[in-house]
Amino acid sequence: MDTLTAEPTAAREHRVARRRRWLLACLVGLVGLAFLLDIALGSVRIPLPAVVDVLLGKSSGTVAWDFIVTKIRVPKAITAVLVGCGLAVSGLQMQTLFRNPLAGPSVLGITAGAGLGVALVMLSAGSAASLYAIQQLGLSGSWLIVLAATLGAALVMLLVLAISARVRDNVVMLIVGVMIGNITLSVVSIWQYFSAPEQIQEYLLWTFGSLGSVAGPHLAVLAGVVLAGLGLAFASSKPLNALLLGENYARSMGLTVGRARLIIIASTSLLAGSITAFCGPIGFIGIAVPHLTRALLNTADHRLLIPGACLVGAALTLLCDCLAQLPGSSTALPINIITALVGAPVVIWVTLRRTFVRSSFS
């Protein structure tokens, strides 16, 4: 131990800081690369130089490529970045607030709330006419679905915030959140039980998640809400650092715990609620990315972890989307399948190799 600590603190700190800067730069590069790759891959394969040309405002020479890149692939890639950032940061906040490595964006029941909204719209469309109308609107792109999901998420969020304002203890808050999620899910199950198989299938498709259905005004709204949520999260990085020592210490160092918790929950609700509303319940990113980021950056400081989680989350979501395109085939798998299939082994590997997941919570 002595030889390890012999190096002067200042020199070591300097070296660690340099390594972190280098890592962050690498991550930025990785996100850029994954972004380009995500645009290039798909049922129509577009060469990377052509992608770069279109992104720089020039024409690739093929009208179809120009159209595919600007109207479909770029919005989808931007959505992937927003989803990755938003879910990763909301998961990080929940894990720190509740001091629980298994917490994620869905732990407060907000995702389930969005699902309830969607289920209500899809399954209450009992008459063939309204079901037809919804399908005509285009299921995934429809404002109706987004509106329903947003309302569902917002309703649960208001409930959670109201309870959070009364509850003094974070452990109680965690249990209440999980219970609200379960109640919401069982309400959805009741609806499913009394619905026709075709209706259930529609709902199931929504739960697979999709990045490709957000464009134009949808994308603008999603981007606005996610950026607001990220802003709130970054503003909470100092309180989040204090909460690492537990609520009592945080309070003794001058943190108004109730207010900080309200801001953190509001940020998580905005992020998880809006993303679920637009893209469906995308799992795994929110739980996995915070652990990956802590292990990569080797720190517990949220001033670094929040930007870091954004980068890792964006890169992971983009790469998952690339894989979902099944290179070499024209079919695309739902994003939700890939995130867990790819992400889980990565997390298992990191967890086994490093002790950070354990030591950050013990």
Question: Which positions touch another protein (CB under 8 A)?
Answer: 5, 7, 9, 12-13, 99, 235, 237-238, 241-242, 244-246, 248-249, 251-256, 294, 298-301, 303, 355-356, 358-362
Q: How far is the CB of 206 from another protein (least distance, A)?
A: 38
Q: Is 341 exposed, middle or buried (0-12, 13-18, 19+ CB in 10 A)?
A: middle
In the bound complex, what is the minimum distance in angstroms from residue 15's beta carbon to another protein?
10
Calpha distance 114→119 (Å, rounded): 9
Phi/psi at 67 (5° precision): -65, -50
Q: Which lies closer to another protein via its Cβ, residue 70 or residue 298?
A: 298
Nearer to another protein, 9 or 329 (CB): 9
State the minimum distance, in angstroms, from the CB of residue 23 to another protein.
16
* Least CB distance to another protein at residue 96 (A): 9
User: CB-wise, 258 or 327, nearer to another protein?
Assistant: 258
Nearer to another protein by C-beta: 130 or 252? 252
Q: Name the burial class of residue 317, with classes exposed (0-12), middle (13-18) and buried (19+) by CB atoms within 10 angstroms of its CB.
A: buried
Report the residue number, 175 or 253, with the smaller CB distance to another protein.
Answer: 253
How many CB atoms within 10 Å of residue 11? 9
Q: Report the alpha-carbon angle 165-249-172, nearest 5.
A: 35
Of 42, 53, 43, the C-alpha closest to 77 is 42
Q: Is the distance from CB of 295 to CB of 349 less than 8 angstroms?
A: no
Q: What angle do CA 162, 228, 109 make, to 5 degrees?
A: 40
What is the nearest approach in angstroms of another protein to the Cβ of residue 27?
19
Comparing C-alpha atoms, which of 135, 87, 78 is closest to residue 107?
87
Q: Which is nearer to another protein, 14 or 58 (CB)?
A: 14
Alpha-carbon distance values, 126 to 44, 129, 345 (Å): 38, 8, 42
Query: In the bound complex, what is the minimum distance in angstroms from residue 266's beta carbon to another protein?
Result: 17
Nearer residue to another protein within complex by CB, 25 or 245: 245
In whole angstroms, the minimum distance from the beta carbon of 85 to another protein comes to: 19
